[in-house]
């Protein structure tokens, strides 16, 4: 496959003045007619008229009404064209029914929908399918479907047809079309500019009862973007469509967002509190793209973080405002460490702005999204809230309507704040997680903190240079009072010291408060002290986590018993009713098993997945024993009597209640869990209870009952598939997953069901890494089977193997063989080929 480089960027030699598309829908023979007005750019260096096109049958092509014969190339066509503005017309035929890759125009349960980002529009018609080509689209859809939707505003419609016009110039990746038998949940919103917007959520009949929450989340997002960023919506309608078959969460097509049903449909009976929170965040994310992504888009796909990092940052601010800021920060950092750090520290490492790729779909990564958001968070910390606001206003003012770059983004910050961001830009160009070593001293009333930064070299960044690292630090006196509130120290050198005079005793530092930078600290803080006294909720949680980690690592490597300091500290916090229940739930949560494997590897020890599993179990049990007396009361006090609401307050109660129930279940053999299962009136209670029953070895009856109750509901059945896998014992996990793939409802072509089963399995650390290699073989078998059908979902799941070099020689050799077997599969997709090649490097 061909490698594309950032340095090779050249503009297209033509502008597209307008685009008219007509769709005559038919499952296996849809006709797409395009009429596109092109004008050569006088200053263009490259005058080649090249249009992308993939899997298209060209029926006819004309220029200014005259038939032409274009020259096919392997990725599209070229054609001789006049050196003045001209009209290109083409008719192509495509086969949506055969499109299992779910990219371009495809069918999902009889309904037509599209997914064009990143390069799917070329599967719909011939077009310069690149984000820097922006144009105004008018679309006519002919088809016997009650609902016919495209981008922009409705122009006119009749029986069997509809016409849409989108006045905002957009790149082709934001094109969307939906046709089908759908029912609408409607509402309206009035913008701060006084524009009345008709909102609709289109779903399959039967799902009407799952729309209200998503609609509210949309209205909250629209209001929030006005209040916080001053950005109003800009069309007469905003449509959201839920589809069952979708490769990711959702897509921000202009005026017509398309959502994986799992990312929008919610009801108390079928969705957990975490589902509700995730749905709210994804609706916000896609809505926020209207300004950060659509009005200002990316010049080329290397700039993906320009829209994704910023939009993730914006949706995290939104969630923090809607719910709890510290809890949101903690959960974001858990995700960052679990997904982005391993990527940044393994063979898939790449900068936030990559410099080359073979298949761009492989770069919708935790690095581009989550580290991309962290970089913006640091930028805001460094320039301050006011500086950030001025810079963002300038960004919107200057670049509205543009296809922009990271250089453009940083330039507005430099101009708005006067700050030189030359060194800061390394966050966009260097791969790897910086490591920061900390030491300190105290003399004559002056406390000195010294930092040394070091980023391990990688093939993506062989020679990393010092980064600008904002380190939020507070100081506590030995008796636990805060003697210095949070200050931001800017670490810019390889090593650097900061002094704090005028102290009467050596203070206890609280470092990297709020996780102020995506780095790893090399530092042994006084965790028990910080757990008791830190004023920063993030670092207090971090202290509990550090204690748990040290205790677990002690058990894994030295067989020591769970640390009494950790047990006391956590038990104390769990019972402290002055603290937010959701926060307490997080304080209890222990580091994940693959996180422990990463820590062991970092410390130079080969991780043993079975030992990690066993130590985690021992710790859970020790905590349950330690708290045995208080658990029943704690459980009773965190039951919600009020009618179900998916808000943060109730969700926090249930989260803590369920945490307590998980401990109780280790002591009562699952009786309390059975009672909760039997009496559950919402999915949060039902699913948690089911999990603990499975763990207690008495899940069979409940699983059967759950299946009978929810057979008709795909999204709930995804949970049923996933839960059995994730709650299986390590030696059963592969067999459980395998047995589920034989279940009549295992539709492997549906990405949600495939991920619920095989994706969940690859996240079962000890099960996936079972000694006999059965887990590796199972996953490889299924990836080989899925690749010809759906390359994108296959390629994404290959990352389960990215940490393979951490493990022992026998496991490495077993994984190596599976990777080789995947690589050797005939006609392996470009997507999977690139992933496997990079992982094997
Ligand atoms: N922009 C889309 C992701 C498209 C992924 C293409 N493989 C969703 C989002 O980030 O909002
Ligand atoms: Zn996005």
pLDDT of residue 178 exceeding 90, the answer is yes
**Residue 749's pLDDT band (cuts 50, 70, 90):** very high
pLDDT tens digits along 97-134: 999 999 999 999 999 999 999 999 999 999 999 999 99
Predicted local confidence at residue 45, as pLDDT: 84
Predicted local confidence at residue 365, as pLDDT: 98
Domain 4-264, CATH homologous superfamily name and number: tricorn interacting facor f3 domain (2.60.40.1730)
260 lines ligand 1 (CB under 6 A): no
By alpha-carbon position, which residue is closest to atom 8 of ligand 1? 251
Task: List Cβ neighbours of 599 (8 Å cut-off, separation of 6 or more).
Answer: 549, 553, 591
Q: State which of 174, 252, 297 you would mutate to test the pocket of ligand 1, scoring each by most atoms of that ligand within 8 A of its C-beta.
A: 252
Which atom of ligand 1 approaches the CA of 250 most closely? 8
Cβ count within 10 A of residue 407? 12
At the topology level, CATH places domain 296-522 in Neutral Protease; domain 2 (1.10.390)
Distance 313 CA to ligand 2 centre (A): 10
Predicted local confidence at residue 46, as pLDDT: 86
Which atom of ligand 1 approaches the CA of 247 most closely? 7
- Say which DSSP state 127 is in: B
Predicted local confidence at residue 588, as pLDDT: 87
pLDDT tens digits along 807-833: 999 999 999 999 999 999 999 999 999
Predicted local confidence at residue 744, as pLDDT: 98
Whether residue 354 contacts residue 302, with contact meaning beta carbons closer than 8 Å, is answered with: yes
Distance 478 CA to ligand 1 centre (A): 49
Work out the average pLDDT over 432-461.
98
Q: State which of 115, 247, 251, 307 you would mutate to test the pocket of ligand 1, scoring each by most atoms of that ligand within 8 A of its C-beta.
A: 251
Q: State which of 240, 256, 308, 366 you would mutate to test the pocket of ligand 1, scoring each by most atoms of that ligand within 8 A of its C-beta.
A: 308
Domain boundaries, the chain: 4-264, 296-522, 568-840
Distance 667 CA to ligand 1 centre (A): 44
Distance of alpha carbon 298 from alpha carbon 252, whole angstroms: 14
How does DSSP assign 465-483, residue by residue?
----EEEEEEEE-TTS-EE
Distance 362 CA to ligand 2 centre (A): 15
Distance 282 CA to ligand 2 centre (A): 9
By alpha-carbon position, which residue is closest to atom 3 of ligand 1? 251
Sign of the four-CA dihedral 725, 730, 732, 734: positive
By alpha-carbon position, which residue is closest to atom 1 of ligand 1? 251
Which atom of ligand 1 approaches the CA of 792 most closely? 7
pLDDT of residue 292 exceeding 90, the answer is yes
Predicted local confidence at residue 427, as pLDDT: 99
117 lines ligand 1 (CB under 6 A): yes
Distance 288 CA to ligand 2 centre (A): 9
**Residue 225's pLDDT band (cuts 50, 70, 90):** very high
812 token code pair: 């490495």
pLDDT of residue 617 exceeding 90, the answer is yes
286 lines ligand 1 (CB under 6 A): yes
Query: What CA–CA distances, in Å, run from 207 to 248, 261, 270, 413?
Result: 20, 10, 11, 45
**Residue 7's pLDDT band (cuts 50, 70, 90):** very high
Q: Is 751 helix (H, G, I), strand (E, B) or coil?
A: helix
pLDDT tens digits along 528-572: 999 999 999 999 999 999 999 999 999 999 999 999 999 999 999
By alpha-carbon position, which residue is closest to atom 9 of ligand 1? 251
pLDDT tens digits along 179-224: 999 999 999 999 999 999 999 999 999 999 999 999 999 999 999 9
101 lines ligand 1 (CB under 6 A): no
598 lines ligand 1 (CB under 6 A): no
Cβ count within 10 A of residue 635? 19
Which atom of ligand 1 approaches the CA of 369 most closely? 10
pLDDT of residue 654 exceeding 90, the answer is yes
Distance of alpha carbon 34 from alpha carbon 53, whole angstroms: 13
pLDDT tens digits along 128-146: 999 999 999 999 999 999 9
Question: Which residue blocks in 669-773 are alpha helix, DSSP H?
Answer: 671-679, 683-695, 700-710, 714-726, 730-741, 751-754, 760-762, 765-768
Q: State which of 116, 243, 248, 304 you would mutate to test the pocket of ligand 1, scoring each by most atoms of that ligand within 8 A of its C-beta.
A: 248
Task: List Cβ neighbours of 432 (8 Å cut-off, separation of 6 or more).
Answer: 344, 345, 349, 455, 456, 457, 458, 460, 461, 464
**Residue 1's pLDDT band (cuts 50, 70, 90):** confident
Whether residue 511 contacts residue 519, with contact meaning beta carbons closer than 8 Å, is answered with: no
251 lines ligand 1 (CB under 6 A): yes
Which atom of ligand 1 approaches the CA of 286 most closely? 11
Predicted local confidence at residue 44, as pLDDT: 86
pLDDT tens digits along 386-415: 999 999 999 999 999 999 999 999 999 999
Distance 251 CA to ligand 1 centre (A): 6
Q: Is 373 helix (H, G, I), strand (E, B) or coil?
A: helix
Which residue shows structure tokens 């229940």? 581
At the topology level, CATH places domain 568-840 in Zincin-like fold (1.25.50)
Mean pLDDT of the chain: 98
Phi, psi angles (nearest 5°) of residue 441: -155, 165
361 lines ligand 1 (CB under 6 A): yes
Q: Three-state SS across 99-125?
A: CCCCCEEEEECCEEEEECCCCCHHHCC
Which atom of ligand 1 approaches the CA of 285 most closely? 11
**Residues designated as active site:** 286
pLDDT tens digits along 577-601: 999 999 999 998 899 999 999 999 9
Predicted local confidence at residue 613, as pLDDT: 98
pLDDT of residue 712 exceeding 90, the answer is yes
221 lines ligand 1 (CB under 6 A): no
Distance 278 CA to ligand 2 centre (A): 14
């Amino acid at each position: 496959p061909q490698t594309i480089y950032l340095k090779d960027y050249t503009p297209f030699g033509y502008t597209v003045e307008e685009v008219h598309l007509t769709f005559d829908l038919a499952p296996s023979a849809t006709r797409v007619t395009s009429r596109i007005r092109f004008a050569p750019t006088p200053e263009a260096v490259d005058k080649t008229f090249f249009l992308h096109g993939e899997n298209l049958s060209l029926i006819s092509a004309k220029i200014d009404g005259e038939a032409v014969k274009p020259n096919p190339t392997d990725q599209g066509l070229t054609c001789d064209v006049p050196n003045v503005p001209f009209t290109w017309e083409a008719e192509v035929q495509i086969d949506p029914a055969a499109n299992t890759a779910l990219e371009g125009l495809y069918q999902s349960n009889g309904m037509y929908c599209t997914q064009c980002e990143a390069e799917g529009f070329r599967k719909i018609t011939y077009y310069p399918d690149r984000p820097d080509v922006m144009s105004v689209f008018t679309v006519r859809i002919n088809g016997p479907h009650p609902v016919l939707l495209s981008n922009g505003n409705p122009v006119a419609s009749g029986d069997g047809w509809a016409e849409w016009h989108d006045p905002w110039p957009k790149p082709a990746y934001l094109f969307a079309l939906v046709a089908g038998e759908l029912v609408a949940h409607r509402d309206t919103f009035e913008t701060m500019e006084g524009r009345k917007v008709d909102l609709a959520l289109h779903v399959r009949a039967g799902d009407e009862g799952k729309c209200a929450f998503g609609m509210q989340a949309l209205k909250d997002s629209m209001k929030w973007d006005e209040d916080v960023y001053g950005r109003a919506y800009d069309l007469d309608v905003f449509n959201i469509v839920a589809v069952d078959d979708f490769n990711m969460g959702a897509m921000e097509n202009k005026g017509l967002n398309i959502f994986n049903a799992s990312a929008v449909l919610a009801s108390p009976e079928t969705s957990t509190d975490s589902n509700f929170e995730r749905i709210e965040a994804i609706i916000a994310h896609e809505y926020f793209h209207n300004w950060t992504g659509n009005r200002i888009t990316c010049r080329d796909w290397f700039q993906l973080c320009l829209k994704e990092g910023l939009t993730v940052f914006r949706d995290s601010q939104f969630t923090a405002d809607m719910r709890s800021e510290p809890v949101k920060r903690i959960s974001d950092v858990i995700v960052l460490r679990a997904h982005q750090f391993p990527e940044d520290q393994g063979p898939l490492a790449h900068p936030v702005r990559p410099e080359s790729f073979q298949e761009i779909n492989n770069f919708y990564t935790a690095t581009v999204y989550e580290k991309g958001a962290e970089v913006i968070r640091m930028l805001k910390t460094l320039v301050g809230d006011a500086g950030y606001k001025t810079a963002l206003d300038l960004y919107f003012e200057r670049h509205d309507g543009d296809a922009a770059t990271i250089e453009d983004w940083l330039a507005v910050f430099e101009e708005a704040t006067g700050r030189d961001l030359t060194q800061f830009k390394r966050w966009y160009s260097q791969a790897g997680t910086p490591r920061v070593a900390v030491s300190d001293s105290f003399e004559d009333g002056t406390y000195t903190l010294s930092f040394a930064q070091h980023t391990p070299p990688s093939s993506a960044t062989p020679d990393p240079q010092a980064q600008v690292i904002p380190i939020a630090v507070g100081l506590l006196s030995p008796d636990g009072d805060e003697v210095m509130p949070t200050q931001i120290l800017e670490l810019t050198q390889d090593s650097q010291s900061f002094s704090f005079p005028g102290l009467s005793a050596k203070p206890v530092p609280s470092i990297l408060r709020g996780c102020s930078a995506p780095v790893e600290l090399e530092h042994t803080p006084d965790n028990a002290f910080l757990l008791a006294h830190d004023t920063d909720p993030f670092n207090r949680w971090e202290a509990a986590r550090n204690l748990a980690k040290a205790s677990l690592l002690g058990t894994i490597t030295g067989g020591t018993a769970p640390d009494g300091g950790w047990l006391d500290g956590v038990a104390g916090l769990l019972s402290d009713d002055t603290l937010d229940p959701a926060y307490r739930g997080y304080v209890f949560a222990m580091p994940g098993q693959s996180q422990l494997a990463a820590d062991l590897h970092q410390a130079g020890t080969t991780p043993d997945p079975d030992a990690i599993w066993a130590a985690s179990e021992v710790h859970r049990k020790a905590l349950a024993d330690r708290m045995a007396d208080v658990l029943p009361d704690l459980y009773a006090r965190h039951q919600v009597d009020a009618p179900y609401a998916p808000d943060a307050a109730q969700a926090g109660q249930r989260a803590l209640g369920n945490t307590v129930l998980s401990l109780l279940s280790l002591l009562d053999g699952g009786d309390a869990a059975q009672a909760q299962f039997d009496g559950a009136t919402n999915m949060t209670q039902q699913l948690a209870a089911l999990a603990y029953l499975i763990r207690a070895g008495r899940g069979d009856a409940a699983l059967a009952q759950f299946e009978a109750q929810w057979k008709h509901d795909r999204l709930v059945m995804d949970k049923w598939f996933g839960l059995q896998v994730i709650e299986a014992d390590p030696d059963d996990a592969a067999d459980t997953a395998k047995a589920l793939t034989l279940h009549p409802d295992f539709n492997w072509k549906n990405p949600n069901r495939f991920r619920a089963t095989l994706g969940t399995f690859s996240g079962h650390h000890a099960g996936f890494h079972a000694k006999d290699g059965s887990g590796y073989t199972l996953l490889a078998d299924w990836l080989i089977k899925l690749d010809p059908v759906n390359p994108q979902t296959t390629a994404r799941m290959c990352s389960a193997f990215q940490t393979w070099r951490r493990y022992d020689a026998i496991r490495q050799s077993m994984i190596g063989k599976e990777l080789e077997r995947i690589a050797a599969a005939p006609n392996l997709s470009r997507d999977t080929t690139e992933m496997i090649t990079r992982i094997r490097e």
